[in-house]
């Protein structure tokens, strides 16, 4: 029988780090400009797909880049930086190509309907919003917000992955890496969906009024990730 | 109109409690039958695990249908991914600590995390969906059954670790057979799509429970065929029977789905192929 209390006591730091990673992912999702189905028809600002797809795309790239860095070094800082930058590159490419579609394909200027002036470039927004739409394309503020959000998501994902791989256990290395990575992916999906319920599916970035709701998602994600982290640490630590 | 049962609220021809019983009992019976019969009869009995997974998939799709009817605000796919995300955490935990009781432990702990997420969604995130707590519990548990069932049909057992006798692997476990090889990613997407897609494809004012569930059976059969293809290249499970039965279930359920589509549609007409360049000139 597994000594559950002993494992939790020995790996308590890892449980805390996994929970922190989950909170970072939940916070990061609030910053990514998610437009959902309306944005796919250029009727809302943001990338035209759901939160889960965007967050998972960026976050899983972060996991891959973090795992690649883990091949060559044990340094926590380098691994986290690699995961963060990988996720940032992924979301930047997604938003850039999406932007080309909106500008050259649909033929609409990037504009936000939530603010009158772009908080970063100070450009006027409301004149360029087509009638009957909630904005279109990805304005500068949303783009920068998305890069920051994906960075937080990648940081959280690689922190979870690194913490899971720090747990002492008797598994062969290949099995251990497989279990830790699929576990990190499971946690990533849970923490991408919880904030997407909080923002109701669409958000433009940090300048969107919905961004102020993030403490609720952080609290929800804290509880859910903490519970899952205990189960993960017990399962992996008991092997 | 017919025995289909309407959309809106919780109207359904088949009560949800019957579907819960179908999912839990059918799922666990299928998984345990596969585990014992593979030992006693032969590796080709591993198809029973996929039948258990289909029970879980249909249950999950029925629960998604009920909760997504209220409007989640994010699209239906998110809840399917959430189900499999929770399911994978609970299945890893349950199979690793549970031994022979692994599938039951996985089911219970998936339901527990689902319950917590459901309460958080209503109390903290203020989603205000009355059946959120129950549905989230059901969806997470259905996700766990799907994962354990498909894993069992892929490798013939739900034991987490390899069974080694005198240095020779006599049974491959889930850890090395499904997770390390990466087949878990196939399960994740095939199972997740099977749970989220039926309602996503059928939603609308004329959505009917039996049409959605026929679609769920059909998606479950596709997941079963994929599990069978994987089983043909794993050493302790046999895939041919899984693929054959999967194709049979797919044919029956797709015919049933198409029949219900024709029943519910105002009119079904063939448009023919697109005109060729010569015909347009």
Q: What is the DSSP string of B193-208?
A: HHHHHHHHHH-STT--
Pairing verdict, β B168-171 and A111-112: unpaired
Distance CA A206, CA A13 (A): 31
Pairing verdict, β A135-136 and B168-171: unpaired
Joined together, the tokens standing for residue B230 give 């994987």
Closest Cα of chain B to A159: distance in Å?
Answer: 17
- The whole-chain average pLDDT of chain B stands at 86
Q: Which of B99, B109, B118, B120 has the highest number of chain A CBs within 10 A, making it the mutation to test binding with A?
A: B120
Helices (H), A34-172: 36-40, 51-72, 76-100, 140-165
Whether the per-residue pLDDT at B185 is higher than 70: the answer is: yes
List, as ranges, residues 91-110 from B with C-beta within 8 Å of A: 92-93, 96-97, 109
Map residue B104 onto helix, strand or coil. Answer: helix
Report how many domains make up chain A.
1
* Top-confidence residue, B170 or A221: A221
Closest Cα of chain B to A186: distance in Å?
Answer: 4
- Which of B180, B175, B177, B162 has the alpha carbon at shortest distance from A174? B180
The partner residues of A135 in beta bridges, in order of sequence, read A112
Distance CA A173, CA A163 (A): 15
- Residue A10's domain comprises 4-237
B124 Cβ under 8 Å from any chain A Cβ: yes
Distance CA A208, CA A196 (A): 14
Joined together, the tokens standing for residue A218 give 């952080």
Asked if the Cβ–Cβ distance from B77 to A53 is below 8 Å, we say yes
Q: Which of A179, A187, A237 has the highest number of chain B CBs within 10 A, making it the mutation to test binding with B?
A: A179
* Top-confidence residue, B33 or B239: B33
Whole-number pLDDT of residue A2: 64
Q: Which residue has the tokens 């609720």?
A: A216
- Residue B103's domain comprises 16-163+170-263
* Top-confidence residue, B76 or B105: B105
Whole-number pLDDT of residue B113: 92
Count of CB contacts below 8 A, A vs B? 138
Closest Cα of chain B to A189: distance in Å?
Answer: 6
Whole-number pLDDT of residue A188: 87
List, as ranges, residues 177-216 from B with C-beta within 8 Å of A: 179-182, 184-185, 188
pLDDT above 70 coverage of chain B, percent: 96
Asked if the Cβ–Cβ distance from A171 to B175 is below 8 Å, we say yes
B116 Cβ under 8 Å from any chain A Cβ: yes
Distance CA B227, CA B234 (A): 11
Distance CA B134, CA B68 (A): 13
Distances from the Cα of B8 to the Cα of B12, B49, B68, B198, angstroms:
9, 34, 10, 16
Asked if the Cβ–Cβ distance from B78 to A220 is below 8 Å, we say no
Residue B91: CB partners within 8 Å, gap ≥ 6? B106, B110, B144, B147, B148, B151
Whole-number pLDDT of residue B11: 60
The tens digit of pLDDT for each residue in B1-20 reads 333 333 445 466 788 888 89
Domain presence at residue B227: yes
Residue B218, H or E segment = helix B209-232
The DSSP symbol for A208 reads S
Asked if this assembly's ipTM is beyond 0.90, the reply is: no
Q: What is the full DSSP assignment across B111-154?
A: HHHHHHHHHHHHHTS----TTHHHHHHHHHHHHHHHHHHHHHHH
- Number of Cβ within a 10 Å radius of residue A168: 10
Nearest chain A residue to B129 by CA: give it: A197
Mean pLDDT over B54-74 rounds to: 87
Torsion angle of alpha carbons B115, B121, B122, B128, nearest 10°?
-130
pLDDT above 90 coverage of chain B, percent: 38
**Spans of chain A below 50 pLDDT:** none
Query: Is the Cβ–Cβ distance between B107 and B17 less than 8 Å?
Result: no
Cα dihedral A21, A27, A32, A34 sign: positive
Whole-number pLDDT of residue B243: 92
Query: Is the Cβ–Cβ distance between B88 and B147 less than 8 Å?
Result: yes
Q: Which regions of chain B does DSSP assign to beta strands (E)?
A: 163-165, 168-171
At residue B164, what are phi and psi to the nearest 5 degrees? -115, 125
Whole-number pLDDT of residue B170: 73
Query: Is the Cβ–Cβ distance between A165 and A177 less than 8 Å?
Result: yes
Cα dihedral B175, B181, B185, B187 sign: negative
The tens digit of pLDDT for each residue in B85-111 reads 899 999 988 988 888 888 999 999 999
Helices (H), A124-213: 140-165, 173-198
Map residue B10 onto helix, strand or coil. Answer: coil
Distance CA B38, CA B30 (A): 12
Whole-number pLDDT of residue B1: 30
Report how many domains make up chain B.
1
Torsion angle of alpha carbons B15, B16, B20, B21, nearest 10°?
-10
Closest Cα of chain B to A166: distance in Å?
Answer: 17
Distance CA B156, CA B45 (A): 8
B30: left (phi over 0), alpha (psi -120 to 50) or beta: alpha
- Number of Cβ within a 10 Å radius of residue B170: 10
């Amino acid at each position: 029988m597994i000594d559950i209390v002993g494992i939790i006591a020995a790996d308590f730091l890892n449980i805390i780090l996994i929970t922190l990673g989950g909170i970072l992912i939940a916070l990061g999702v609030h910053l990514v400009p998610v437009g959902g189905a309306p944005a796919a028809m250029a009727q809302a600002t943001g990338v035209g797909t759901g939160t889960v797809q965007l967050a998972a795309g960026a976050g899983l790239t972060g996991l891959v880049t973090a795992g690649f860095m883990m091949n060559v070094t044990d340094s926590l800082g380098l691994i986290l930086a690699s995961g963060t930058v990988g996720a940032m590159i992924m979301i930047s490419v997604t938003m850039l190509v999406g932007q080309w579609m909106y500008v050259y394909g649909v033929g609409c200027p990037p504009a936000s309907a939530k603010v009158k002036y772009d908080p970063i470039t100070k450009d006027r927004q409301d004149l360029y919003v087509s009638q009957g739409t909630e904005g279109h394309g990805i304005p500068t503020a949303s783009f920068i917000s998305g890069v920051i959000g994906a960075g937080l998501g990648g940081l959280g994902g690689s922190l979870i992955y690194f913490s899971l791989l720090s747990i002492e256990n008797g598994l062969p290395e290949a099995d251990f890496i497989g279990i830790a990575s699929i576990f990190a992916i499971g946690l990533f999906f849970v923490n991408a969906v919880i904030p997407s319920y909080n923002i109701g599916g669409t958000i433009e970035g940090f300048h969107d009024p919905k961004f102020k709701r993030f403490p609720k998602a952080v609290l929800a994600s804290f509880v859910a990730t903490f519970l899952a982290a205990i189960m993960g640490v017990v399962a992996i630590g008991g092997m | 109109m017919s025995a289909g049962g309407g959309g809106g609220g919780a109207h359904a021809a088949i009560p949800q409690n019957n579907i819960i019983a179908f999912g839990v009992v059918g799922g666990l019976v299928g998984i345990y039958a596969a585990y014992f019969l593979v030992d006693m009869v032969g590796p080709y009995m591993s198809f029973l695990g996929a039948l258990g997974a289909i029970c879980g998939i249909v249950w999950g799709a029925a629960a998604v249908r009920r909760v997504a009817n209220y409007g989640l605000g994010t699209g239906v796919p998110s809840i399917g991914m959430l189900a499999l995300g929770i399911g994978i955490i609970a299945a890893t935990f349950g199979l690793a600590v549970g031994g022979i009781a692994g599938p039951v432990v996985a089911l219970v702990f998936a339901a527990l995390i689902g319950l917590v997420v459901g309460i958080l969604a209503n109390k903290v995130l203020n989603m205000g969906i009355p059946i959120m707590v129950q549905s989230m519990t059901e969806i997470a548990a259905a996700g766990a059954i799907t994962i354990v069932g498909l894993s069992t049909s892929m490798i013939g057992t739900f034991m987490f670790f390899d069974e080694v006798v005198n240095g020779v692997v006599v049974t491959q476990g889930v850890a090395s057979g499904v997770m390390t090889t990466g087949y878990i990613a196939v399960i994740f997407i095939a199972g997740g799509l099977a749970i989220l897609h039926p309602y996503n494809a059928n939603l609308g004012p004329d959505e009917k429970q039996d049409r959605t569930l026929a679609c769920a059976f059909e998606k479950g059969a596709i997941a079963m065929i994929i599990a069978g293809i994987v089983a043909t290249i794993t050493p302790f499970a046999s895939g041919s029977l899984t693929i054959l039965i999967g194709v049979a279930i797919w044919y029956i359920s797709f015919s049933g789905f198409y029949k219900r589509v024709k029943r519910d549609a105002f009119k079904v007409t063939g448009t023919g192929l697109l005109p060729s360049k010569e015909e347009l000139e």
